[in-house]
Structure 1
């Protein structure tokens, strides 16, 4: 992705080094950890996908150990996007991606007679306090509808590349765009409506609703990729990086790798094939109407 020298968003709040309580955070991506000792890969843990009540089943989510090790020494922020880089480069890259989402969604909302409100992206390390509660890095990136903020510990990018097998700057951009997709859902009323539905549903039904919410966010990430591609800022292989990331974080893939079996009723984000399909649908059509995951079969 061609990002150097381009507009950077000012809607970034850096809380790294400020600390904060541990507890339940907002809902977002999953990260694997190692069984045994203080941190590493393989153990399934519950990540409560918070305020909007995504109700994640213990079998469905993989998390990263919130303790052990300094984020400054562990995180991919030290390398920035790509093979070489710096922590400052990673920050600049994130700011450019966020600015791109602001431009894309502001224009799209304007086209339908609505006003897009830019979210704030909070950078944190290890733990953070949000309007949806306290969260650790184990939550992965997440969006809190209460304060309309995205939360990101950039150590997730190292997990995404080294442990989940999804390297590349556009894989990282997809993560940010997915969380912005949840912000779009909040502004359009999807998140409040699905919260009410989930509160009245069984656990299995609530999980199924969560899958549809997450797949729509993937589709909206694809919409952003479509418009960014049309703007001429993508490079060869960028879309493939995003598709690979979507495939690597499917519920079935993560469950199969971590526990050797798949439990469909516990899915909360969708299968690898579904996540690829819905991102590709947004990216190939550029049509928000094609992102309606709440009608018909997935």
Structure 2
């Protein structure tokens, strides 16, 4: 989920039948979300004319945001190297344990992404992390019951009560869904570090409602794919095998848009496909959701 400009644009993992992508089981409470809105364009003040010179400055070349995202250098950075990330011994069984668990995953993400971001020609900046329950106030708004990334603060806001509930119901599933949620939200930070997120925001301004939802799906499916590039590259050391692999697979194959909420994250079929592709390849090249047909991001 990404929140920006005081309005929640898209929604990440929620409990039960909440806004998308959701996980079909275990079922929990229902929460509704409003359709995303886009802030109106503002007109920039007319610049003061510079004094005439004999040599006119070169006119800057505008980069089409759709082309920028579809041909980004991130896709040419190669497979992510493992950082031998290991799960915390104690799972997210309560608030303090959830914070420690999230911090351990973030420490791995902070080691895994700098090479990829630098190779893409961007500057790596470690996102902040806030764990919370109930409601949280941020420059991007508040998100009851939802984890999200806020570009304004470059921070992941991890909603832990639902993750703790999943862990208490099934510890292995709780570990996998917490790991995936953290990797997905962190991947939104990567999108904004590399300019993919800013280009997405620019594209939204000129899109109608259907177009905005499709752009949101491209953004969210890419974040899931990139998050799973990280998990796949550390599959061995992190212990995503056997039953844990089955729980990870269940999570990604059952996350996605569910009626009656907006089609802003992608179908469960497409969410599973992009997640599995990133996990198997360990390469951001598998995550170019901006250059594919609408059917693949439906």
Given the two structures, how large is their TM-score scaled by the length of structure 1?
Answer: 0.67
Are the equivalent residues in 2 in contact too, given 1:52–1:192 (CA < 8 A)? Answer: no
Equivalence map 1:96-107=2 (5 Å): 96-107=104-115
Equivalent in 99, 102, 116 of residue 91 of structure 1: 99
User: Residue in 2 aligned with 1:119?
Assistant: 127
Equivalent in 185, 201, 207 of residue 201 of structure 1: 207
User: Residue in 2 aligned with 1:289?
Assistant: 285
Find the aligned partners of 2:186 and 2:268 in 1 and give their Cα distance. Answer: 20
Equivalence map 1:111-150=2 (5 Å): 111-133=119-141, 135-138=142-145, 140-150=146-156
User: Residue in 2 aligned with 1:66?
Assistant: none
Equivalent in 217, 224, 229 of residue 230 of structure 2: 224
The CA deviation at 1:45 is 1.5
The CA deviation at 1:28 is 3.5
The CA deviation at 1:287 is 1.4
Are the equivalent residues in 1 in contact too, given 2:167–2:174 (CA < 8 A)? Answer: yes
Find the aligned partners of 2:218 and 2:119 in 1 and give their Cα distance. Answer: 25
User: Residue in 2 aligned with 1:240?
Assistant: 246
Are the equivalent residues in 2 in contact too, given 1:104–1:227 (CA < 8 A)? Answer: no
Equivalence map 1:253-264=2 (5 Å): 254-255=258-259
- Farther-moved stretch of structure 1 (200-209 vs 236-245): 236-245
Find the aligned partners of 2:155 and 2:37 in 1 and give their Cα distance. Answer: 14
Looking at CA atoms only, which structure, 1 or 2, has the larger radius of gyration? 2
Q: Are residues 241 and 50 of structure 1, via their aligned partners in 2, closer, same or farther at CA, if it must alter by over 3 Å?
A: farther
Are the equivalent residues in 1 in contact too, given 2:15–2:162 (CA < 8 A)? Answer: no
Q: CA RMSD in A?
A: 3.2
Q: Are residues 235 and 283 of structure 1, via their aligned partners in 2, closer, same or farther at CA, if it must alter by over 3 Å?
A: closer
Given the two structures, how large is their TM-score scaled by the length of structure 2?
Answer: 0.67
Equivalent in 150, 157, 163 of residue 157 of structure 1: 163
Find the aligned partners of 1:25 and 1:158 in 2 and give their Cα distance. Answer: 24
Find the aligned partners of 2:17 and 2:288 in 1 and give their Cα distance. Answer: 37
> Where does the alignment leave 5 or more consecutive residues of structure 2 unmatched?
1-5, 19-26, 41-89
1:29 has 2:12 as partner: yes
Paired residues in the alignment total 231
Equivalent in 194, 218, 223 of residue 212 of structure 1: 218
Q: Deviations over 1:235-265 (max 9, x none)?
A: 42333322221223211xx32xxx6xxx8xx
Q: Are residues 171 and 41 of structure 1, via their aligned partners in 2, closer, same or farther at CA, if it must alter by over 3 Å?
A: closer
Are the equivalent residues in 2 in contact too, given 1:214–1:269 (CA < 8 A)? Answer: yes
Higher relative contact order (CA 8 A, sep 6+): 2
Q: Are residues 267 and 48 of structure 1, via their aligned partners in 2, closer, same or farther at CA, if it must alter by over 3 Å?
A: closer
Q: Are residues 197 and 160 of structure 1, via their aligned partners in 2, closer, same or farther at CA, if it must alter by over 3 Å?
A: farther
Q: Deviations over 1:27-80 (max 9, x none)?
A: 441424789xxxx95645224657899xxxxxxxxxxxxxxxxxxxxxxxxxx7
The CA deviation at 1:167 is 2.5
User: Residue in 2 aligned with 1:276?
Assistant: 272
User: Residue in 2 aligned with 1:46?
Assistant: 33
Equivalent in 172, 175, 186 of residue 181 of structure 2: 175
> Where does the alignment leave 5 or more consecutive residues of structure 1 unmatched?
1-22, 54-79
